[in-house]
């Protein structure tokens, strides 16, 4: 399993309660819900490391198909 960075997140109680409820509705822990939301927004913004790797792979595959 990949090592994860730990850090403290200061968040107002109302926002935390809303996240906790949302996580529960989707059968996730609150931490997993926050991670899910962060990954989703990173992909949407084109800043996800996984997206860059996938894009490079896709570009390489296209180049190989053209040859």
- CB atoms closer than 10 angstroms to residue 33: 19
Q: Detail the DSSP E strand segments found in the chain.
A: none
The domain locations on the chain are 13-66
Q: Which run of H or E residues covers position 18? A: helix 13-25
d(CA 34, CA 43): 14
pTM tops 0.85, yes or no? no
Q: What is the mean pLDDT of residues 45-59?
A: 65
Please determine, for residue 65, whether its predicted confidence score (pLDDT) is greater than 70: no
SS3 of residue 45 by DSSP:
coil
Residue 61 banded pLDDT, cuts 50, 70, 90: low
């Amino acid at each position: 399993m990949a090592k994860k960075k730990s850090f403290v997140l200061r968040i107002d109680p109302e926002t935390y309660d809303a996240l906790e409820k949302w996580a529960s509705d989707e059968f996730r822990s609150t931490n997993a819900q926050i991670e899910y939301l962060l990954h989703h927004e990173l992909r949407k913004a084109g800043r996800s490391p996984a997206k860059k790797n996938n894009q490079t792979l896709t570009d390489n595959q296209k180049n190989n198909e053209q040859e």
